Amino acid sequence: MPVAFSLALLSAGACAEVRSGPPGGPEDHEPPKLVAVTPDTGRVNTKPKEVVFRFDETVSERPSGANGLDALVVLSPSDGVPRVSWHRKSISVRPRKGFRPNTAYSVTLRPGIADLRGNVLRASEQTWFSTGGEIPQTALRGTVFDWVAGKPAPNALVQLFRGSDTTFSWIGTADSTGHFEIRAFPSGSYRVRALIDANNNRVADRREAFDTLGVSVADSARVELLAFVHDSLGPRIDRVTIEDSVTLRIEFDMPYEPTHAVTPAQFALKRADSTLVPIVGFLTDSALAAEKAAAARARGDSTPPASGARRTADSARVAAPNVPPAAGSAVPLPLPGRRGAGAGAARDTTPLPKPSRPPPTGRVIIRLGAPLVPGASYRLVASDVWGLSGAPRTSDRVMVVPKPAPPQPAAPRAGGTATPPRRP
């Protein structure tokens, strides 16, 4: 009896373990669906303690591509990062100091909400309501650019400040093409700021690119924001590359201000005895590439150098010690049919917008009036080069021209000897 009773218990335990497994049925590949929002979109004279988004299934506390749910919530206007709470099938949002009276609000859930199986909601969800009697029909639209890169700034944070108060702002975020829209704010004058928020803390930290401008909105307006890193110091010489005996490529550590054109008169190249090497002008990348191509053809070279290519060999680079060589300027383009590129799928060929002002640059090419001497030392000085933030700077760089490599000894002929035999 004891043995039979034990076997019965083991059998029952095995059956219980089988029954506790996951239920059958087809796998779920659908993202969570929003089924309700409280308060309802368009409500006025409502005084909620929080805004609640309810889904048809449990959503993950760890959204896709974000550190937390608060990174996917945009509350406008806002007194700081909103308080976001997770309740299995719902997400609640409230301001840090509560909803203000007589104020219209919008709450946006950005793409990234996922269920427990990892199915991600790719579309954004949004609701509008007012704690007062109306929702203003105002709108500020525009595009944010990474000005130095010359391309749109996706996910840039856009804030609308009124007066001198920087603790309370209306907020929007740029889409993949840099476009944004902020709605439902009182008519008037504002200061708008676009921030490329690398660490997603909604604060303009040092070395983060941003742009600000004033705007007056009666009903709607459109702006362009050119974000760049603001620095109190101007550009300094970062690297000098010898293209040939009479050509130098100079790269600064940041772009210079386009409205303060850099001229050859701002540069001086001094020999060790302080005498000057004449500087006769600037060259463009295309002009230098054309010269190299012509020289290659003259040598009978069938493969002239690519346009804009840089010499990166240590013998051609004369920059500060311990600075790694610059990477080549050529960037491989993605090939159709690569894994992960959606082989065979239709690609969006819509051109991305471009800033109205050309992107600033931080490099120049100088043509010398006398050739450099191999093995000689020189000091290059750049005077009063203006940065994007409006600060001029003078900097210099010492360079030593490399000596040419010694010729390699000729290889012996096949079947011969390295030295001829001595005659008797």
Mean predicted confidence (pLDDT) in 204-218:
92
For the chain, give the mean pLDDT: 83
Specify the pLDDT at position 396: 96
pLDDT, mean of residues 362-381: 96
In this predicted structure, what is the pLDDT of residue 212? 95
pLDDT in tens, 6-27: 434 334 444 433 333 345 556 7
Task: Establish whether the linkage from the previous residue to 82 is cis, with ω within 30° of 0.
Answer: no
Give me the pLDDT at residue 207, please. 86
In angstroms, rounded to a whole number, what is the distance separating the alpha carbons of residues 307 and 309? 6
Confidence band for 275, pLDDT divided at 50, 70 and 90:
very high
CA trace torsion 278, 279, 280, 283 (10° rounding): 150
- pLDDT attached to residue 282: 95
State pLDDT tens for residues 74-124.
Answer: 999 999 889 999 999 999 999 999 999 999 999 999 889 999 999 999 888
- Give the position of tokens 């005498």: 275
- Regarding the domain delimited by 29-132, which CATH topology (the fold level of the hierarchy) does it fall under? Immunoglobulin-like (2.60.40)
| Per-residue pLDDT, 419 | 56
- 58: pLDDT confidence band, cut at 50, 70 and 90? very high
- Percentage above 90 pLDDT, the chain: 62
As given in the structure block, the two tokens for residue 400 are 């030593």
User: What pLDDT digit, counting tens, does each position of 220-258 carry?
Assistant: 999 999 999 998 889 999 999 999 999 999 999 999 998
In our burial notation (b when 16+ CB lie closer than 10 A, e otherwise), range 60-81 reads: beebbebeebbbbbbbbbbeeb
- The C-alpha atoms of residue 130 and residue 138 are separated, in whole angstroms, by 14
- The pLDDT score that the predictor gives to residue 360 is 93
pTM of the model: 0.72
Lowest mean pLDDT among 92-106, 153-167, 239-253, 317-331: 317-331
Q: Which pLDDT band, with edges at 50, 70 and 90, does 405 fall under?
A: confident
| DSSP H or E segment with residue 126 | strand 125-130
Q: How far apart are CA 94 and CA 52, in angstroms?
A: 9
Average pLDDT over residues 32-58: 95
* pLDDT score at 48: 95
Q: Tell whether the model's pLDDT for residue 315 goes beyond 60.
A: no
pLDDT digits (tens, 9 = 90+) for 126-136: 999 999 999 99
Interacting residues of 89 by C-beta distance below 8 A, sequence separation 6+: 54, 55, 56, 57, 58, 59
**Which CATH number applies to 136-230?**
2.60.40.10
Contact (Cβ atoms closer than 8 angstroms) between residue 379 and residue 349: no
Give the pLDDT score at 417.
Answer: 56
Fold of 237-319+358-400: Immunoglobulin-like (2.60.40)
Question: In the chain, what are the domain boundaries?
Answer: 29-132, 136-230, 237-319+358-400
Q: Work out the average pLDDT over 23-35.
A: 79
Residue 171, pLDDT score: 95
Closest CA to 208 of 200, 192, 196: 196
More confident residue, 160 or 29: 160
What pLDDT sits at residue 221? 96
Pick from 185, 135, 126, 134: nearest CA to 159: 185
Mean pLDDT in residue range 64-71:
79
In this prediction, residues 282-309 reach a mean pLDDT of: 78
Number of Cβ within 10 Å of residue 186's Cβ equals 13
Mean pLDDT, residues 160-180 taken together: 92
Where b means 16+ CB within 10 Å and e means fewer, 238-253 reads bbbbbbbeebbbbbbb
